[in-house]
Amino acid sequence: MRVLSWLYLAVAYAFVFLPVVVLVVFSFQDGRLPVPPFKGVTLDWYAKVLGDEDLMAALLNSLLVAVVSSLVALILGFLAAHALARVRLPGSVLMRGVLIAPMTVSYLIIALGLLTVFNQMGIRPSLWATGIGHVVINLPLCFAICYAAMGDHQKNAERAARDLGAAEWQVLALVSAPMLAAPLAAAFFLSVTFSWDEFIIAFLLTRFDVTLPVEIWSMLKSGLSPATNAVGSLVFLVSVTLVILLELTIFRRAK
């Protein structure tokens, strides 16, 4: 039975990580196509990627949109979760459902709706429009994580802070938020990850200043190349680094 368990675990990990391994291996391909057979090791594709001004600009655009939109979504989600968890309001169940509803809607529908609204308002496609779209898709995630993490022990600490004369913003900033540090960090980094990889909204709501997924799509139109593998490997490296740092700092401290 133990052997079967280990075999199942090995197959599951191989299924998940085999595409990543292939992506990384063929990013070092000494040839023009990232396909077998493997012809040797070279770093030329990484040098080409890091020297591509358009690609680096798209990477910075993705980082800017991901961080800013995730921060806005986190703040709004935390405030909404705190209000609905601490105050009994008429129709609070309906409010929670409305806040979570965008998680069940296709990104394509959200992008088309935002594009229509922005056209009516005279807002042109830009990184700011993409950031608003990413707030829309990440706000329900942040709300759900924060709402699920709020318990009675935090309510008692908040009540004690108010009894000691703390203002409401001090309760939120100095009591509620620190007690939810791990869930807030998880919500933020998950939002950054989803925003970083999102393509449909970014494709429809940007024009000249594009994000990294849109730039990679433009590269793929000219055919497969180890350069796209190199870009994917660098993005994977950044993602893994963030996860490791998160585990070594916030989550371990919470435990």
Same domain, 236 and 204: no
Same domain, 149 and 73: yes
Nearest to residue 81, comparing CAs of 163, 165, 184, 159?
Answer: 184
Same domain, 133 and 148: yes
Structurally, the chain folds into a number of domains equal to 2
Phi, psi of 29 (to 5 degrees): -65, 130
3-state secondary structure of 215: helix
pTM of the model: 0.82
Same domain, 183 and 194: yes
Same domain, 136 and 176: yes
Same domain, 156 and 251: no
Same domain, 217 and 236: no
pLDDT for residue 254:
54
- Reading the chain (255 residues) residue by residue, the pLDDT tens digits are 677 888 888 888 888 888 888 878 778 777 776 667 777 777 878 888 888 788 888 888 888 999 999 999 999 999 988 888 877 777 777 888 888 888 888 888 999 999 999 988 888 888 899 999 999 999 999 999 888 888 777 777 777 778 778 777 787 787 888 888 888 888 898 888 888 888 899 998 888 788 888 888 887 777 677 778 888 888 788 777 777 777 776 656 555
Same domain, 75 and 201: yes
Same domain, 145 and 179: yes
Question: How does pLDDT run across 128-140, given as a tens digit for each residue?
Answer: 999 999 999 999 9
Q: Which domain holds residue 231?
A: 1-45+224-255
Same domain, 63 and 123: yes
Question: How does pLDDT run across 201-240, given as a tens digit for each residue?
Answer: 999 888 878 888 888 888 777 767 777 888 888 878 877 7
Same domain, 90 and 200: yes
pLDDT for residue 233:
82
Same domain, 13 and 111: no
pLDDT for residue 75:
93
Q: Could you give the C-alpha distances from 24 to 149, 195, 227, in angstroms and in order? A: 37, 22, 11
Please report, for the domain that includes residue 69, its CATH number.
1.10.3720.10
For 248, how many CA atoms within 13 A lie in the half-sphere containing its CB?
A: 6
pLDDT for residue 19:
80
How far is Cα 208 from Cα 126, in angstroms, rounded to an integer? Answer: 8
